[in-house]
């Protein structure tokens, strides 16, 4: 009986993962297909990648995406960590208020959030471009940093902070010499997550992009209107590889952090 059940488990899981990753694999495969049509395989080629790097618009969009994602991840790492550290010292009621307001942006549908931001930034007469992209991306990245750093902070023994005070450290010295070194792995993991989320956001970026500043995902989306070209496959493959690296790095930091015993 047990053996049978196990066989079924294996079968089910294999089917599940094949269904999940087959489309991804096909994108990678077709990005090397010499034929522009997905209907047939006519041979291996790097042509689409070459064309991709020659496409000025795509390279420009990639640059915008990277710039926005990097600034967003740094900004949300700072803001999220600061909020998490500050909420250590406030009353419990204040803390749950902060937490509630942090999570709210994640629950608002992006379509609605995008419109809201569009109206708001318009009213402020902010030029649409890098600034609006960074601000709006930070809105949904800060909560992730906050949550991850806060989880780590909860694990820190209070008496460690008290002993820092007791040994003569001011609050700021305690933050700098004890709290930050203990939560830095979480901050790095969270900012890599923020980087990934900023890089692949489409909906909010569509509202926030300026006339000359389009992010890569938004551009790909517009390319799709004229049909899937192998160039898009090549681009998606590169993005996939990039994402795997980012996620892999964040996992690495997570593991390292859990090895240390608090």
Q: CB nearer to another protein: give 185 or 217.
A: 185
Q: CB nearer to another protein: give 181 or 227.
A: 181
Burial 145-167 (b: 16+ CB within 10 A, else e): bbbbbbebbeeeeeeebeebeee
Q: CB nearer to another protein: give 9 or 155.
A: 155
Q: Which residues bind another protein (CB under 8 A)?
A: 157, 159-160, 162-170, 173, 177-178, 181-182, 260-262
Q: CB nearer to another protein: give 44 or 172.
A: 172
Q: Shortest Cβ distance from residue 73 to another protein (Å)?
A: 23
Q: Shortest Cβ distance from residue 88 to another protein (Å)?
A: 15
Q: CB nearer to another protein: give 183 or 239.
A: 183
Q: Shortest Cβ distance from residue 99 to another protein (Å)?
A: 24
Longest alpha-carbon distance in the chain:
73
| C-alpha closest to that of 194 among 33, 87, 75, 31 | 75
Distance from CA of residue 62 to its chain's centroid? Answer: 15
Q: Shortest Cβ distance from residue 262 to another protein (Å)?
A: 5
Cα–Cα dist 155/160, whole Å: 11
Q: CB nearer to another protein: give 14 or 177.
A: 177
Q: Shortest Cβ distance from residue 74 to another protein (Å)?
A: 23
Residue the block writes with tokens 């969270």: 190
Q: Shortest Cβ distance from residue 40 to another protein (Å)?
A: 58
Q: CB nearer to another protein: give 225 or 259.
A: 259
Are the C-beta atoms of 188 and 73 separated by less than 8 Å? no
Token pair for residue 149?
A: 């750093």
Q: Shortest Cβ distance from residue 259 to another protein (Å)?
A: 10
């Amino acid at each position: 009986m047990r053996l049978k059940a196990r066989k079924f488990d294996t079968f089910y899981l294999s089917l599940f993962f094949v269904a999940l990753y087959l489309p991804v694999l096909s994108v990678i495969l077709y990005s090397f297909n010499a034929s522009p049509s997905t209907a047939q395989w006519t041979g291996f080629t790097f042509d689409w990648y070459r064309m991709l790097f020659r496409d000025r618009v795509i390279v420009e969009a990639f640059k915008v995406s990277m710039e926005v994602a990097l600034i967003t991840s740094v900004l949300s790492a700072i803001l999220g960590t600061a909020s998490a550290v500050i909420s250590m010292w406030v009353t419990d009621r204040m803390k749950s208020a902060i937490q509630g307001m942090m999570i709210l942006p994640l629950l608002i549908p992006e379509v609605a959030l995008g419109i809201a931001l569009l109206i708001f930034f318009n009213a402020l007469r902010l030029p649409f471009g890098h600034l609006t992209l960074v601000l709006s991306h930070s809105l949904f990245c800060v909560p992730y940093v906050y949550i991850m750093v806060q989880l780590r902070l909860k694990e820190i023994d209070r008496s460690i902070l008290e002993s820092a005070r007791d040994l003569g450290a001011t609050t700021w010295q305690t933050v700098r010499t004890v709290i930050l070194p203990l939560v830095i792995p979480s901050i790095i993991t969270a900012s890599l997550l923020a980087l990934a989320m900023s890089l692949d956001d489409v909906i909010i970026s569509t509202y926030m992009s300026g006339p000359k500043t389009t992010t890569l995902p938004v551009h790909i989306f517009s390319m799709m209107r004229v049909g899937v070209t192998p160039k898009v496959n090549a681009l998606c493959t590169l993005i996939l590889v990039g994402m795997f690296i980012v996620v892999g790095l964040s996992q690495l930091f997570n593991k390292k952090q859990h090895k240390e015993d608090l």
